[in-house]
Amino acid sequence: MRKKIGILTSGGDCPGLNCVIRAVVSHAKLTYDWDVFGIPYATQGLLERQAIALNMHGWDLRGIDPLLNMGGTILGTINKGDTLAHVDEMLASYQALALDALIVIGGDGSLAILHELAKRGNWNLVAIPKTIDNDVAFTEWAVGFDTSVNTIVDALNRLTFTAASHDRVMIVEVMGRSAGHLALHAGIAGGADVILIPEISYTISGLCQHLAELRDRWRRKFAIVVVAEGAKLCVEYTENNTNTKCGRGQYIADQIARCSSNCIDTRVSVLGHIQRGGIPSALDRLTATVFGKTAVDLIAQGQFGQMVAWQNGGVVPVPIADVVAQSPLHVNPQGYLVQSARSLGIYLGEKSNE
């Protein structure tokens, strides 16, 4: 019998979500002749029993397919709310939608919630990882990460020349929640001199010493410092400035000013949600396409409770339960990327802290 499958995007948006939707709709329709329904605003749409029929080439745009290169998600998304407080209503709503299977495109938080609902309601769930943080366990890539890294690298390129022109230390605060993947990847690719991530603790004296060495030994009068938003708690700063919730970037700038007796001229750029925007990179489009296709095939094979994951150049199914248990995935302080960064002379914190 013709299947009816649902798809939703959950958690923070990122580039490439629409590419996943495109891949799912195309493969489900062309290969299996199934009907695909988009559930708007993640679990909120589920609760409200909303389902929008999605079609290939369903947009009146002279044949142009906007889903390939459009950021955000046409389904809308939410990254807050207390879904598990409404479990019974949610299960009843899902039943009413009469779906044969549901594809969730989400990060670790969304996967945990949907997995719990699926367990309780016996849903046929398949997951696709997405997040600019790249902290979903068992997959080398999540949709959205590559575009975000490229966005940060572009910002670092721009900042390098203005930094060099004014002999300034530019501090760039990037997202990533409790993980440093974004900062580490973009910092290496964008030529940073310092990368501060949550997984490796650093000292202000070590950081300042590194900036002094750049200047005195290498005659470099400017520097680029990439700070992950979760790099370090601003304990020192907030103690002296009650009521102030400072960002990591500003904290670092203040500490550099202090240790250099205001001799180092700093500027802070908080890239914020710019990192979540933009058109998806080629790699994100490819990952989205392969993930979308594989998720549909898993439904056809009756393999539920699985997340598609990128491992060793291919796509494999991994139990969502395992993914949820092992996420968020953190940077390995002894890993090849950290070692490569150190081999370039980038300061990440004292080695003894790894």
Among 22, 177, 215, 232, binds ligand F6P (CB under 6 A): 177
CB 57 within 8 A of CB 327: no
Among 276, 293, 309, 328, binds ligand F6P (CB under 6 A): 276
Q: Does 175 bind ligand F6P (CB under 6 A)?
A: yes
Burial class (CB in 10 A: 0-12, 13-18, 19+), 308: buried
Catalytic residue status for 146: no
Q: Which residue is nearest to ligand F6P (CB)?
A: 175
Q: Does 131 bind ligand F6P (CB under 6 A)?
A: yes
Strand partners, 174: 228
Which helix (H) or strand (E) segment holds residue 180: the answer is none
Q: Does 108 bind ligand F6P (CB under 6 A)?
A: no
Q: Does 268 bind ligand F6P (CB under 6 A)?
A: no
Residues with Cβ within 8 Å of 319's Cβ and at least 6 positions away in sequence, in order, are 305, 306, 307
CB 6 within 8 A of CB 51: yes
Catalytic position from the list 133, 135, 254, 297: 133
> Known binder of ligand: residue 277?
no
> Known binder of ligand: residue 168?
yes
Which range of residues in 36-44, 128-136, 249-257, 310-318 is near ligand F6P by CB under 6 A? 128-136
State in Å, rounded, how far the first CA of the chain is from the last one: 56
Nearer to ligand F6P, 26 or 327 (CB): 327
Among 35, 133, 146, 193, binds ligand F6P (CB under 6 A): 133
What is the rounded distance in angstroms from the CA atom of residue 281 to the CA atom of residue 150? Answer: 8
Nearer to ligand F6P, 77 or 124 (CB): 77
> Known binder of ligand: residue 170?
no
Quickly list H helices, 41-180.
43-47, 87-97, 108-121, 145-166
Q: Does 12 bind ligand F6P (CB under 6 A)?
A: yes
CB 70 within 8 A of CB 15: no
Number of other residues whose CB lies within 10 A of the CB of residue 108: 22
Which range of residues in 172-180, 195-203, 283-291, 319-327 is near ligand F6P by CB under 6 A? 172-180
Amino acid 251 reads Y
What residues line the site for ligand F6P (CB under 6 A)? Answer: 12, 79, 107, 131-133, 175-177, 229, 276
Point out the residues that are catalytic: 133
Binding-site annotation: residue ranges for ATP: 12, 80-81, 107-110
